[in-house]
Structure 1
Amino acid sequence: MKKILLIKRAMMLLLGVLILYSCGSEEPNQSSHSGRQGPPQTQVRGVEVKVMEIGNEIVTPGSFAAWEQLNITPEIAGIIRSIHFSEGSTVRSGQLLISMDDRELQGQIQKLDLEIELSADERRRVESLLEIQAVSEEEVLRARNRESVLIAEKELLEIRKSKLNVYAPFAGQVGLRNISEGNFVSPGTTIATLHQIRPLKLDFDIPELYVHQIGVGTEVEFTTVGRSTRHKAKIYAVEPGINPQTRTMRVRARVENEEGLFLPGRFAQIHFNVDVNPQAAMVPSEAVIPVIDGQIIFVVKNGVATALPIQTGIRTDNFVEIKEGLSAGDTVVTTGLMSLADGAKVSVDIVEISFNDN
């Protein structure tokens, strides 16, 4: 009897344990069903696409040249009497630079003046004799010719005398003198050089690939050695042909040089843009994801991230051009990219970007 009672108690205890176990196992299942609300949103950062003018910057060397330049030299041989400029000084157009000894020519001119006066008296004498038929017309003609020859010889000496003075044909800056006063010089002897440096020429070569994008009127920028400040120049002439050795075209730009900062012969680095796109869609470089068959970016619309295959264009330090598929105002993801998949739900925190930071 006791044995049966023990068996009943054991069975009731076992039944109670089963009931407790079944109740405990239902609660997790119920809580699991109640918490199933779909995949959670991913928190990411993104930027709005902006458009700007962008182009490939080409850098090429160049050099300055004087706008006008000549050697100050006499036209005829002689002794330098006076030098009317200081080394390194600025002279005006038409200013007297060199005076040479003209005493010999002046003496010849004075001699001719006397001979012309005598020949004029002789002409008048024979003309008066002709009136009374005392001389022939041939005598009068010879007298007149003699006077005309002497006048022509004087004019020739006056021209030679004027060549003893050297004048500045344009305003500019004189270089260093090679000759002193009292030296005998011959035609072609360089006394000094005259440079017009306001404005200046800037000569440089551009690759054959870009000759159709650069021409007269194109503005370029340049820097000089040791300085990062950019200055402007405008192309005003181009060489009508390609150099077959270098495959480049020589162009020439005008630099105003109003402050005289640049000198002929100085080196410069010329910067100009080619392949310019005035409405380039730009995104930060970190938004671009390399994949096996190219590159993609994630574009967010209505809270859903979509993987967009792209073709990139021009790159800068911090930004990259997207050639197609984007418009101004589109939202592009820049963080959390490795955890995203096509069609993922996202919550985007928009970050402002500035191209000035580029």
Structure 2
Amino acid sequence: MKRWVSISLIVLVLGGVIAYNKFFKSKPGEPGGVGGRGGAAGPAAGGRGPGGPTAVNAFVVVFQNLKDEVVASGSLVAAEQVDIYPEVSGRIVQLNIREGQPVSKGTLLLKLYDGDLQAQLQKLQVVEENNRRIEERNKRLLERGGISQQEYDIIVTNLKGALADIEITRAAIRRTEIRAPFSGTIGLRNVSMGAVVTPNTLIARLQQTSSMKLDFSIPEKYGLAVNVGSKVDFQVGGSDKTFQGAVYAIEPGVEEATRNLRIRARVNNSTSALRPGAFAKVNLVIRNDRALVVPTQSVIPQTRGSQVVVIKNGKAAFQDVKIGIRNASIVQITAGLQQGDTVATTGLIFLRPDAPVKVAKIDKLSGKSQPVKAASDTTNVTMR
């Protein structure tokens, strides 16, 4: 009995081995063997083949024009602006304000009643004429010795007093008139003919808008890069046009609350396309020069700096670099590379020092100069 059991076991084992070799084990060189039919036929893109170099894309380091810009919020201000108030109280007897129209310097805008002052002026002029005749007669008497010098000095003093009273009255009459202090455009008036006004009554606003001022602020770290004459570009709401201005004044001190530096630029508004008080998005070029640049993806951040992989003689070399300004696509290299160096832009996770590298493709940058905008440095200007 035991003999037949042993024979049966041997037959089952041999049958299993034959079935395995026939149905499950593939022939050498055929797909679908141990390890699965879907196994990779070669190295993955950016990876290393069996015993071969790692295939990567690369970039040749070049000089390119690079702009460093600060984006800030600003407001437009009229070159000259004044709110018109009367100096004295009175009733309006003449109103020459044409709303929204240009006026010339010295134009009479408003006249208050001055009948009492005119009468007083006439009275003082009569007194002045009488004192002048008295002075002339007494001057002849003094020359003949008919009066003393002291008596003549009193008469002269009375004449000068009358002349001073006349000037005071004329000054009071001038205060009843409001004239344009400069050429500009008059705004909307707030009074009507015959109204009684006081020094607290706003008559209208006069603005000079043929040229305008642009007020904005930038972080203090950019202060040394801005000088009188620096150019600024800006846009206003409702228009896609880019306007230009030139810096002509810089606040001497930094605002302690915001650590920003206030700057004022002059803007030509001969076409009257700009209005005072409008919001402006300002682009100030801090620096515009030629610099060594590499694609952003080629820079490897490190704990205390940055690295790039330089391809030399077909091998990878990890090089420490110092970076400058950057944007989404390019980074400025200030130290560590030279023009003509080749750096890897893909497959960086597969590379090791002195590992063999094969360049599959050379990447290129756009030929246009790309501005680098410090979005985190966007600042605001208080609207005035």
TM-score, length of structure 1 as denominator length = 0.71
In structure 2, what is the Cα distance between the partners aligned to 1:291 and 1:156?
Answer: 80
In structure 2, what is the Cα distance between the partners aligned to 1:328 and 1:298?
Answer: 15
In structure 2, what is the Cα distance between the partners aligned to 1:283 and 1:58?
Answer: 22
The equivalent of 2:161 in structure 1 is: 149
In structure 2, what is the Cα distance between the partners aligned to 1:347 and 1:207?
Answer: 43
1:325 matched to 2:336? The reply is: yes
SS at match of 2:271: coil
The equivalent of 1:309 in structure 2 is: 319
1:96 matched to 2:108? The reply is: yes
In structure 1, what is the Cα distance between the partners aligned to 2:117 and 2:302?
Answer: 91
1:58 matched to 2:58? The reply is: no
1:253 matched to 2:265? The reply is: yes
Question: 1:268-294 CA distances to partner (integer Å, 9 max, x unpaired)?
Answer: 2333355x4733211223444678997
Letter in 2 for 1:169: P
Letter in 1 for 2:234: F
In structure 2, what is the Cα distance between the partners aligned to 1:218 and 1:305?
Answer: 47
The equivalent of 1:279 in structure 2 is: 290
2:218 paired residue among 206, 210, 214:
206
In structure 1, what is the Cα distance between the partners aligned to 2:257 and 2:242?
Answer: 30
Alpha-carbon contact 1:310-1:323 (below 8 Å) kept = no
SS at match of 1:61: strand
Deviation at 1:177, TM superposition (A): 0.8
In structure 2, what is the Cα distance between the partners aligned to 1:243 and 1:292?
Answer: 34
1:264 matched to 2:276? The reply is: yes
Note closer, same or farther for the CA distance 1:290–1:305 as it changes in structure 2 (3 Å cut).
farther
Residue correspondence of structure 1 range 124-139 to structure 2 within 5 A:
none
1:231 matched to 2:243? The reply is: yes
In structure 2, what is the Cα distance between the partners aligned to 1:144 and 1:294?
Answer: 90
Alpha-carbon contact 2:245-2:265 (below 8 Å) kept = yes
Note closer, same or farther for the CA distance 1:300–1:203 as it changes in structure 2 (3 Å cut).
same
Letter in 1 for 2:114: D
In structure 1, what is the Cα distance between the partners aligned to 2:196 and 2:303?
Answer: 82
2:184 paired residue among 164, 172, 175:
172
Note closer, same or farther for the CA distance 1:228–1:325 as it changes in structure 2 (3 Å cut).
farther
Note closer, same or farther for the CA distance 1:326–1:160 as it changes in structure 2 (3 Å cut).
same
Alpha-carbon contact 1:63-1:265 (below 8 Å) kept = yes
Deviation at 1:113, TM superposition (A): 3.3
1:84 paired residue among 93, 96, 115:
96
Unpaired segments of 5 or more residues in structure 2? Answer: 1-50, 371-384
Deviation at 1:319, TM superposition (A): 1.6
The equivalent of 2:6 in structure 1 is: none
Letter in 2 for 1:326: L
The equivalent of 2:204 in structure 1 is: 192
The equivalent of 2:124 in structure 1 is: 112
| Mean CA deviation greater in 324-333 or 194-203 | 324-333
Structure with larger Rg:
1
SS at match of 2:336: coil
Note closer, same or farther for the CA distance 1:151–1:282 as it changes in structure 2 (3 Å cut).
same
Letter in 1 for 2:325: I
SS at match of 2:368: helix
Letter in 1 for 2:220: E
In structure 2, what is the Cα distance between the partners aligned to 1:204 and 1:307?
Answer: 47
Question: 1:295-327 CA distances to partner (integer Å, 9 max, x unpaired)?
Answer: 65454566x354342434332222222333333
Note closer, same or farther for the CA distance 1:257–1:277 as it changes in structure 2 (3 Å cut).
closer
Alpha-carbon contact 1:73-1:190 (below 8 Å) kept = yes
- The percentage of aligned residue pairs carrying the same residue is 36
Note closer, same or farther for the CA distance 1:217–1:165 as it changes in structure 2 (3 Å cut).
same
Q: Superposition RMSD on alpha carbons, in Å?
A: 3.7
Letter in 2 for 1:328: Q
Alpha-carbon contact 2:324-2:334 (below 8 Å) kept = yes
| Mean CA deviation greater in 333-342 or 62-71 | 333-342
SS at match of 1:211: helix
The equivalent of 2:14 in structure 1 is: none
Deviation at 1:192, TM superposition (A): 0.9
Letter in 1 for 2:248: Y
Alpha-carbon contact 1:283-1:321 (below 8 Å) kept = yes
Unpaired segments of 5 or more residues in structure 1? Answer: 1-38
Aligned length, in residue pairs: 318
